Structure 1
């Protein structure tokens, strides 16, 4: 039986499994970053677009190296869950650790002021299939200085909160 704390990860896996075949391969994994770039109107070959895709690729390779126990170059749900919550995956030294979130933050920070607005955050949360009201709640919880904007550390806090809260 699945622990309810794993529900966000199960939902994440299902979103990544673009073709619904029960496994995530490289194409599945990189589909979401490409869709995000398209939705934001950011070309893949732009500096921010390339940084986001590069970070996503590094994250995929690190996850595959940690989780693909049978070395078939795809991840099953069990492989994903077993390693996604492991100390190895959470290690600060893991290749790509935080890079995807940082690159996404940079994409959302359209004016380059080092913060994102509530509307930009809600848009990003939508990429994770989070309802707008939940996104607003996360935003309010993480906006520690109540300035109506999230800096990078506050954004990271919101992401951590999302992955630690059962749906």
Structure 2
């Protein structure tokens, strides 16, 4: 995948997470996105699952902001965001995605895993896509593409890999919205 395509996907992610539209992302933007997802799932914000998602989004922001040199109380421009994600996720591959993205994916799984098996079935996946604002029209096909072991369930590992694949251009399902 070309750098231009990666940067375009990151720019879209930045715009999605810049919830107040000020051209910067900060901790409050990440927490607003977490609140939006919690609300879309119809989850009470005080539940452990909702708090885990907020903590995961806050942790992701804090980590990236620290690496960008702006700190948790600072904000990042689109260029800073792209630079830090490039360095912390893309350059580090699986390790970077695991460190930065896995906690958020795990927390989203905690919200939509109604049957409590730690995995996402097709019905839960539809709910996930709806909650993060992704068109569900290709949900069946997307589910099959993400379900790399073909067991009819999506594990956290498969979902983290899907986020990575999206950013590297081999999958067109933006699981984080």
Task: Identify the TM-score tier after normalising by the shorter chain.
Answer: 0.7 to 0.9
Q: How many angstroms apart in 1 are the aligned matches of 2:118 and 2:14?
A: 30
Q: How many angstroms apart in 1 are the aligned matches of 2:62 and 2:6?
A: 25
5+ residue gaps in structure 2?
Answer: 173-177
Displacement of 1:120 in angstroms is 2.0
Q: How many angstroms apart in 2 are the aligned matches of 1:105 and 1:66?
A: 26
1:3-62 Cα distance to aligned partner (Å, 9 max, x none): 122222111100111121111122112111101111112122211111111111111111
**1:51 matched to 2:52:** yes
Query: How many residues in Structure 1 have an aligned counterpart in Structure 2?
Result: 166
Q: How many angstroms apart in 1 are the aligned matches of 2:160 and 2:99?
A: 17
Q: How many angstroms apart in 2 are the aligned matches of 1:71 and 1:48?
A: 23
CA change 1:118–1:7 in 2 (3 A) is farther
TM-score normalised by L of structure 2: 0.79
Name the counterpart of 2:17. Answer: 16
CA change 1:113–1:15 in 2 (3 A) is same
**Contact 2:49–2:111 (CA<8 Å) still a contact in 1?**
yes
1:86-137 Cα distance to aligned partner (Å, 9 max, x none): 1477473786551111111111111101221223223323444432244433
Displacement of 1:155 in angstroms is 1.9
TM-score normalised by L of structure 1: 0.83
Q: How many angstroms apart in 2 are the aligned matches of 1:87 and 1:24?
A: 17
Name the counterpart of 2:160. Answer: 156
CA change 1:102–1:162 in 2 (3 A) is same
5+ residue gaps in structure 1?
Answer: none
Q: How many angstroms apart in 2 are the aligned matches of 1:72 and 1:143?
A: 38
CA change 1:63–1:9 in 2 (3 A) is same
**Contact 2:23–2:77 (CA<8 Å) still a contact in 1?**
yes
| 1:124-163 alignment runs, 5 A limit | 124-163=128-167
**Contact 2:40–2:131 (CA<8 Å) still a contact in 1?**
no
Displacement of 1:148 in angstroms is 2.6
**Contact 1:139–1:158 (CA<8 Å) still a contact in 2?**
no
1:50-89 Cα distance to aligned partner (Å, 9 max, x none): 1111111111111111124599811100000011111477
